[in-house]
Amino acid sequence: MPDTPPASTDTRPAPDWDVLADWGRRIADWGAAYHRDLRDRPVRAPLQPGRLRAALPPAPPETAEPMAAIWADLETHVMPGLTHWQHPRFFAYFPANAAPPSILAEFVTAILAPQCMLWQTSPSATELETHVLDWLRQALGLPESFQGVIQDSASSATLAAVLVMRERALDWQGNAQGLSGQKRLRLYVSVEAHSSVERAAWVAGIGSENLVRLPASGPGRSIDPADLRAAIARDHADGHLPAGLIACIGATGAGACDNLRDLLPVARAAGLYTHVDAAWAGSAMICPEFRTLWEGVEGADSVVMNPHKWLGAHFDCAAHFVRAPDDLVRTLAIRPEYLKTHGADGVIDYSEWSIPLGRRFRALKLWFVLRYYGLDGLRAMIRDHVRWSVALAARLRADPRFEIVTEPVLSLFTFRLKGQGDDAQIAYLGRINDDGRIYLTQTRVDGQIVLRFQVGAFAATQADIQLAGDVLAELS
Ligand SMILES: *Cc1c(COP(=O)(O)O)cnc(C)c1O
């Protein structure tokens, strides 16, 4: 019997869209209930190393399992080991808000799952990204000379900026020729800079020994412009190649802010490329009264701020603004034939502005969030957070058991138990976090351990900050 295909033995089910409809509804209800009752859960997960792995089968499943079984294990085994980042009394690190409109946008993105690397791989995604970032640029008070791209994280934006620094300093030959035989490239940062700057120096091949860490001083804990000038002159004299300044606005430890107004002209005069890391504090720049913190920012070449921290858009959403996208494209674009877009001149292929090729549809959540709250709604929230944090700092200052170590920068301040050593501070922090009603983390300021307090959760209320004050006093 020629030409008769064998009977199909393929009994695999087609993708089951009923499971999406059914579980999608259930998960939406579960999610709303989770958030409504979140205040009653301890913020930080209990720390029991190995607990989850001991509960899971050692080998992968050979046969299909029903969604209900998977879900039951999520509830039983996974949920107890999660720290609740959306908890209203999450005061640790910086926030990573995921507001309801952003959840909906991420759900849509999960359904459509487009790859947004080139304009033609989803024209609307590219154009929405251009448009929403221009909205955000206006909201932040940045001049029209900046254009934006959404990077997956501030770390990636900083790495991209450091690569531009490298390429510019090497007359655009670094990608082709590598760094061997070159002069030492030098980058200037504050001692307060985020660890992502050091990693960018590693990954870019520049090396942490060529990261010149300048002291932070004065009320804002800024690099002193005279120190920057002297460091650049010293490096020139030593035959090195000064390449870039990475300034921080709202550093992670205690909110240090470099004085952009005075530092950027020094860097520019020396021919450096300048990048401003405002990953957390940048969100607050939608409020005009806070913009004094980054006065002079219009003189930077590159600025990053994270809507995924304080504006309610899910991680990953880092807004990276640059004055000359051509520098970024010249550094990062690579164009094999299969990535060329023919017949559409003047379109933006955002993969040429970032390090990975593949890109999620990240503009959608920002578009949803900005429209759902409006800038007024977001400003009101940030102003509340700042006001409540300042009030708590005042309460602790008035209490003889505490000492405010760094004054509030926006909604972040640091404090410690007065007259006690580092071990006592760590033990105190342990009592607080084991208690579970609030969650704080620590840092070092001038060598000593301090506790950080920042308000940033979208779900936080004034009563939550009041309760935080009560817990701090009770457990002191
Ligand atoms: C959070 C933070 C970063 C890192 O942000 P990612 O988006 O997680 O890479 C970098 N710099 C500062 C100042 C930050 O607060």
pLDDT at 3: 61
Q: What is the pLDDT of residues 36-46, one digit of tens each?
A: 999 999 999 88
Looking at the predicted structure, is the pLDDT value of residue 262 above 90? yes
Q: Out of 17-26, 46-55, 254-263, 312-321, pick the least confident.
A: 46-55
Query: Which among 266, 273, 300 has a CA at the least distance from the CA of 186?
Result: 273
Looking at the predicted structure, is the pLDDT value of residue 344 above 70? no
Please report the atom of ligand 1 found closest to the CA of residue 156: 9
How many of the other CB atoms lie within 10 Å of CB of 231? 18
Q: Are strands 216-217 and 211-214 parallel, antiparallel or unpaired?
A: unpaired
Mean pLDDT, the chain, whole residue set? 95
Instruction: Report long-range pairs for 67-73 (Cβ below 8 Å, ≥24 apart).
Output: 67/19, 67/23, 71/23
Look up residue 284 and give its DSSP letter.
G
pLDDT at 10: 65
Q: Which residues line ligand 1 (CB under 6 A)?
A: 94, 153-155, 194, 196, 248, 251-252, 277, 279-280, 306, 318
How many of the other CB atoms lie within 10 Å of CB of 240? 16
Residues of the chain above pLDDT 70, percent: 96
* Ligand 1 centroid to residue 286 C-alpha, Å: 18
Strand ranges inside 197-334, DSSP E: 211-214, 216-217, 222-223, 241-248, 273-277, 302-305, 318-322
Q: How confident is the model at residue 7 (pLDDT cuts 50, 70, 90)?
A: low
Yes or no: domain 376-474 corresponds to CATH 3.30.465.10: no
d(CA 64, CA 168): 54
d(CA 274, CA 417): 39
Contact 286, 140 (CB under 8 A): yes
Phi then psi for residue 217, to 5 deg, are: -145, 170
The architecture that CATH gives domain 104-369 is 3-Layer(aba) Sandwich (3.40)
Mean pLDDT of 323-345: 82
Looking at the predicted structure, is the pLDDT value of residue 1 above 90? no
Kindly report the protein residue whose alpha carbon is nearest to atom 14 of ligand 1: 279
* Ligand 1 centroid to residue 45 C-alpha, Å: 22
Look up residue 208 and give its DSSP letter.
G
Looking at the predicted structure, is the pLDDT value of residue 443 above 80? yes
DSSP 155-178: HHHHHHHHHHHHHHHTTT-HHHH-
18-30 residues labelled b (16+ CB within 10 A) or e (exposed): eeeeeeeeeeeee
Kindly report the protein residue whose alpha carbon is nearest to atom 2 of ligand 1: 279
Q: How confident is the model at residue 47 (pLDDT cuts 50, 70, 90)?
A: confident
* N-term to C-term CA, the chain: 87
pLDDT at 421: 97
DSSP 352-416: GGSSSS-----HHHHHHHHHHHHHHHHHHHHHHHHHHHHHHHHHHHTSTTEEEEEEEETTEEEEE
Contact 300, 276 (CB under 8 A): yes
* Ligand 1 centroid to residue 184 C-alpha, Å: 27
pLDDT at 223: 98
Query: Which among 191, 220, 233 has a CA at the least distance from the CA of 407?
Result: 220
Mean pLDDT of 102-119: 96
Mean pLDDT of 381-396: 98
Tokens at 152, concatenated = 């997956």
- As annotated, the residues of the chain forming the CATH 3.40.640.10 domain(s) are 104-369
d(CA 232, CA 234): 5
Phi then psi for residue 244, to 5 deg, are: -165, 160
Contact 125, 361 (CB under 8 A): yes
Kindly report the protein residue whose alpha carbon is nearest to atom 1 of ligand 1: 279
d(CA 368, CA 236): 49
Mean pLDDT of 332-351: 79
Q: 31: phi > 0 → left, psi -120 to 50 → alpha, else beta; which?
A: alpha
pTM of the model: 0.95
pLDDT at 346: 75
- As annotated, the residues of the chain forming the CATH 3.90.1150.10 domain(s) are 376-474
pLDDT at 423: 98
pLDDT at 8: 60
Looking at the predicted structure, is the pLDDT value of residue 2 above 60? no
Radius of gyration of the chain (CA): 25
Mean pLDDT of 159-177: 97
pLDDT at 211: 98
Look up residue 143 and give its DSSP letter.
-
Q: Determine the angle formed by the axes of helices 17-36 and 100-112, rounding to 10 degrees.
A: 160
* Best mutation site among 195, 252, 305, 410 for ligand 1 pocket (most ligand atoms within 8 Å of CB): 252
Q: Out of 51-55, 239-243, 270-274, 410-414, pick the least confident.
A: 51-55
Looking at the predicted structure, is the pLDDT value of residue 255 above 60? yes
pLDDT at 336: 73
Please report the atom of ligand 1 found closest to the CA of residue 155: 9
pLDDT at 5: 60
Tokens at 419, concatenated = 């007259």
* Residue 112 neighbours by CB under 8 Å, 6+ apart: 361
Look up residue 11 and give its DSSP letter.
-
Q: How confident is the model at residue 191 (pLDDT cuts 50, 70, 90)?
A: very high
* Ligand 1 centroid to residue 11 C-alpha, Å: 48
Tokens at 407, concatenated = 């004054």
Looking at the predicted structure, is the pLDDT value of residue 192 above 90? yes
* Ligand 1 centroid to residue 172 C-alpha, Å: 28
Q: How confident is the model at residue 426 (pLDDT cuts 50, 70, 90)?
A: very high
